[in-house]
Chain A
Amino acid sequence: GAVVSQHPSWVICKSGTSVKIECRSLDFQATTMFWYRQFPKQSLMLMATSNEGSKATYEQGVEKDKFLINHASLTLSTLTVTSAHPEDSSFYICSARPGLDSTDTQYFGPGTRLTVL
């Protein structure tokens, strides 16, 4: 149980284009999903927290107009990197927290590697 999927697993795009990454909880309902980015050999950096049906809460320094997050259902959250630039190239990982879980345990997706040319 507690499986989280991400799509696509990797994407290459041209500078200036937008890229959408999907995060799905496959066997549980997730009222809260989290988006992280990870640079090589570094730990996870929380970008934003999204709650189903409400606006995402962004961490300090993360541009909300550049990283659009939508959490339209209890099993799906999307991250759209708008007008991507080479410095946005990174490993993006989502996680989901089961709605009835009070332990705050998060289950992670496999990650999406974004390369912006």
Chain B
Amino acid sequence: QKEVEQDPGPLSVPEGAIVSLNCTYSNSAFQYFMWYRQYSRKGPELLMYTYSSGNKEDGRFTAQVDKSSKYISLFIRDSQPSDSATYLCAMSAGFGMRFGAGTRLTVKP
């Protein structure tokens, strides 16, 4: 079993839809959770960072962490074509980050 599981998609939604991206993990020591966005042929950029359980909101993006279920989510409201990218979840216990496989998202106008 991989430490971090993420459905690679691809996921295609119409513009304006709410997008839900998810990862599960097996290591209960993880306490830092991140979401990165990677456009084609570019390096990943940090989108959201969350410590421990709870929600964090930043504009149209909301990150949720449920440590009891070992499950994290990223919600994108009012999705735009410019949100089309690969989204990588990442998590850490403070001594090395583990990445999910990345979910390719396409938002169609």
Whole-angstrom distance between the alpha carbons of A95 and B43 in the complex? Answer: 9
Report A90 CB to chain B, min CB distance, Å: 12
Interface residues on chain A, size class: 20 to 34
Whole-angstrom distance between the alpha carbons of A51 and B36 in the complex? Answer: 23
Which B residues lie within 8 Å of A109 (CB)? 43
For B44, the closest partner residue in chain A by CB is A108
B22-51 vs A, CB cutoff 8 Å, 1 = contact: the mask equals 000000000010101000011111100101
Say whether B53 faces chain A, with CB atoms less than 8 Å apart: no
Which B residues lie within 8 Å of A111 (CB)? 41-43
Which B residues lie within 8 Å of A2 (CB)? 46
Say whether A104 faces chain B, with CB atoms less than 8 Å apart: yes
A90-117 vs B, CB cutoff 8 Å, 1 = contact: the mask equals 0101010000001111111111010000
Q: From known contacts A111-B41, A111-B42, infer whether A104 and B88 are also in contact, taking CB-CB under 8 Å.
A: no
B78-109 vs A, CB cutoff 8 Å, 1 = contact: the mask equals 00000000001010111111011110100000
Report B54 CB to chain A, min CB distance, Å: 15
Task: Say yes or no: A110 contacts B42, CB within 8 Å.
Answer: yes
Which B residues lie within 8 Å of A6 (CB)? 43
Q: Which residues in window 63-86 of A have CB below 8 A to B? A: none
For A106, the closest partner residue in chain B by CB is B97
Task: Say yes or no: A105 contacts B34, CB within 8 Å.
Answer: yes
Which A residues lie within 8 Å of B46 (CB)? 2, 105, 107-108
Which B residues lie within 8 Å of A43 (CB)? 8, 88, 99-102
A and B contact pairs by CB, cutoff 8 A, 8 listed = A6-B43, A43-B100, A44-B44, A44-B102, A104-B97, A105-B34, A108-B36, A108-B45
A residues adjacent to B (C-beta < 8 A): 2, 4, 6, 41-44, 49, 91, 93, 95, 102-111, 113
